[in-house]
Chains A and B, each alone.
Chain A
Amino acid sequence: MNPNLTSKFIDIQNVEQTFKTPKGSFQALRDIDLSVAKGEFVALIGHSGCGKSTLLNLIAGLTRPTHGVLLCADREIAGPGPERAVVFQNHSLLPWLTCHENVHLGVERVFGKAEGKAQLKSRTEAALALVGLTAAAHKRPGEISGGMKQRVGIARALAMEPKVLLMDEPFGALDALTRARLQDELLAIVQRTHSTVVMVTHDVDEAVLLSDRIVMMTNGPSATIGEILRIDLARPRNRVELAEDRDYVHYRKAVIDFLYTRQGHVEKAAA
C-alpha cells in the first residue's frame, strides 16, 4: 500500500473558506494544512465561531472550499457521500421511520446493489447491536431518549462502513452522565472497527480522552490551525484511571492553556 496513503488518508492542502454574506465577504478559514492518518482519531477543538464545523463540512463534502483542495484516499472530495459518514449534532433521525428503518436507509444505499434483503437486514441489526440498541429497533425516535437517538445516529453512520467517521459535537446536546457513557462506547467501537475519526468538540476532557491528536484552532474570523497536540496515552483508555494520570493532566493543561490563555479573548475578537 502506498505509504503516503496511510499517513495522509485525509489530506487538506492550503484550504481557505470565504462566505459571501449581505454584509460583504466573510473569511471563515485560512491556510488550513492538515493530514489525518488511517485509523487515527483527531479532535478539532476551539472557541465558538472558529470554523471547526465549517472545516468538518468541508471534509464531509457538504461545502466546497473557496481555495485549496481536500483529498480523501488520494481522491478529491467533490461532494458528500456515505464513505465519509457524518454524525450530526442533532441526531437528524427521520422521525417517521423506526430506528431500524433509519439505519437501514443508509445500509440500503451503500450495499443495496450488491447484497440481498436478508444481508441488509443483518447488517442493520449488527449496527444496532454495536451501539446496544437492539431492543429499541422498532421504536420511533420520538419514543427514545436523547442519548439513544445519538447512538442510532452513530449506528447509522457506522453501518455504512465509512472510510471516515465525521462527528460534529455529537454529544453536545446530552447531559454529562450520558455523554460519559457514550464516550466510553465510542472508544470501544473505534477500537473494534479501527475507524478513522474526525470529531469536532468544545469539551477539553472529551478531546484528550478520545483522540490521538488534538487540532486546536485559533479564534475566528479567518481562523487557522493554532497548534496540534499529540496525545500519547495508551489504549484502551480508562477515564477513572486517567483522572490521576500525570500525562493526562499535562495534556489537559496544554489544551486549556491554548484555549483560555492564548486564545482567551473571544468577546473582544468577536467585537
Chain B
Amino acid sequence: MVSAVFHSPSASRKPLASVTTTSPVQAAAARPVFVGVPDATSASTERPGAAIRPPRDLRAFWLRVLPPLLGFAVLVVIWELIALRSTTGFPSPLKVWQQAVVVFSDPFYSKGPNDQGVGWNVLASLQRVGLGFGLAAAVGIPAGFAIGRFEFLSRMFNPLISLLRPVSPLAWLPIGLLVFKGANPAAIWTIFICSIWPMVINTAVGVQRVPSDYMNVARVLNLSEWKVLTKILFPSVLPYMLTGVRLAVGTAWLVIVAAEMLTGGVGIGFWVWDEWNNLNVANIIIAIFVIGLVGLVLEFLLIRLATLFTFEEVKA
C-alpha cells in the first residue's frame, strides 16, 4: 500500500529544488512519472509553461502526508515488536487488522442487549455524550454569562467551582447510580458534571474579557441590556465559549468510556470491558482506535464550527 505512492525508481529524476531554475521544457522532460497521480502528468503534457507549478504543489502535498504516515508506520513497527515478544498473547497488527475486517463487516448487528455491533455501541455512547453534554451546555453557558457579568455571583461560585472541578468523573458515578438508580442516567449525570466546568469557566472568562471599548460604545449608545447581550456580549464571548465546548467534548468522550466500563450495558466503553472479559484483546485494540477516531472527528468538527464564528485565529 505504501509503495504505490512513490515513483518508480527507474524514472530519471532531477531534484525538485532545481526545477524552478531550468526551462519549462527541460523541467517537463525531467519530471518523474508518478503512479496514480493523473493531474500532475496531464498538466505537464498539456501546458509545458505551467510545469513549474505542479511539482511544488505536489511537494507540499507530500510534506503534509508523509510525516504522519511515517509516524503511523513507527507505531506499527513497535507494536509488531511487542507482539512478537509477548508471552500473554498480545495480538500482532496483522491479526488485529483481520479482526477489524470481521468487526466492521457487520457493524450494526444486534443479538440482544449485551451483544451488539460496534456501530450500535458507538452510537449509544455518542447519544449519552450528546445528552449529558447538551444538558451541561444548557446549564453551564448561561451560568457562565451570569458569573462573568456580575461580580457578586462570581465571588459566590468561584470557590465552589474550584473545589468541584478537580474531582475525577468516576468519583461522581456512584452518586449518580444512587440518585438515578440506573446505568444510563448515571452515565449521563457523570458526563454532565464533568463537562460543565470548562463551559462555565471559559464563558465567564470570555464575558470578563469583553474589551472595555465595546462596553463604552454600549454605554454611549445607551443600549438596552438585551441589545448588549445579543450584539456585544454574545458575539464577543463566542470564541471563548467554543473553546470551553471543545474542552468539554474532549472530557466527555474520555469520561463516557470509563463510566461505561463500570456500569455496563451498551456503549463503546462497555464493549472494551466485555471484550476484556472474553480475552479478545484484538477487539480492545480496535476499540482504542475507534475511540480515538471518533474523538478526533468530534474535535475537528468543533474547530470548524469555531472558525466560522471567530474573527481571530482559532489555534487548533
Contact = CB atoms under 8 A, between A and B. Distances in A.
A5 B221 CA distance: 25
B235 interface: yes
A62 B221 contact: no
Interface in B203-239: 213-214, 216-217, 219-223, 227, 231-232, 235
B311 interface: yes
Contact of B222 (A82, A92, A142): A82
A86 B231 CA distance: 19
Chain B contact residues (Cβ within 8 angstroms of A): what range? 10 to 19
Contacts of B217: 88, 92, 94
B216 to A, nearest CB: 6
A76 to B, nearest CB: 16
Nearest to B219: A80
A90 B213 contact: yes
A92 B214 contact: yes
Given A62-B216, A88-B213, A88-B216, A96 B311 contact: yes
Contacts of B214: 92, 94
B222 A80 contact: yes
Interface string A69-84: 0000000000111101
Contact of A105 (B213, B219, B221, B311): B221
Chain A contact residues (Cβ within 8 angstroms of B): what range? 20 to 34
Contact of B221 (A90, A97, A109): A109
Given A95-B311, A96-B311, A142-B311, A81 B220 contact: yes
A101 to B, nearest CB: 9
A45 interface: no
A94 B216 contact: no
A106 B235 contact: no
Given A94-B231, A94-B232, A95-B311, A86 B223 contact: no
Contacts of A79: 219
Interface string B183-217: 00000000000000000000000000000011011
Contacts of B219: 62, 79-80
Nearest to B213: A92
A140 B222 CA distance: 23
Central interface residue in A85, A94, A97, A160, by most chain B CB within 10 Å: A94
Given A82-B221, A95-B311, A105 B231 contact: yes
A90 B216 CA distance: 11
Contacts of A142: 311
Nearest to B238: A96
Nearest to A140: B311
Nearest to B234: A96
B235 A94 contact: yes
A86 B222 contact: no
A60 interface: yes
Contacts of B213: 88, 90, 92
B305 to A, nearest CB: 15
Contacts of B220: 60, 62, 80-82, 84-86
Central interface residue in A90, A92, A160, by most chain B CB within 10 Å: A92
A267 B232 CA distance: 40
A12 B231 CA distance: 34
Contacts of B227: 105, 109
A140 B312 CA distance: 13
A94 B311 CA distance: 11
Contacts of A140: 311
Interface string A127-164: 00000000000001010000000000000000010000
Nearest to A109: B221
Nearest to B223: A109
Contacts of A94: 214, 217, 231-232, 235
Contacts of A95: 311
Contact of B231 (A60, A81, A85, A97): A97
B290 to A, nearest CB: 38
A269 to B, nearest CB: 28
15 contacts: A81-B220, A82-B220, A85-B220, A86-B220, A88-B217, A92-B216, A94-B214, A94-B231, A96-B235, A97-B231, A105-B231, A106-B221, A109-B223, A109-B227, A140-B311
Interface of B: 213-214, 216-217, 219-223, 227, 231-232, 235, 311
Given A90-B213, A92-B213, A96-B311, 8 more contacts: A62-B216, A62-B219, A80-B216, A82-B220, A86-B220, A88-B216, A109-B222, A160-B221
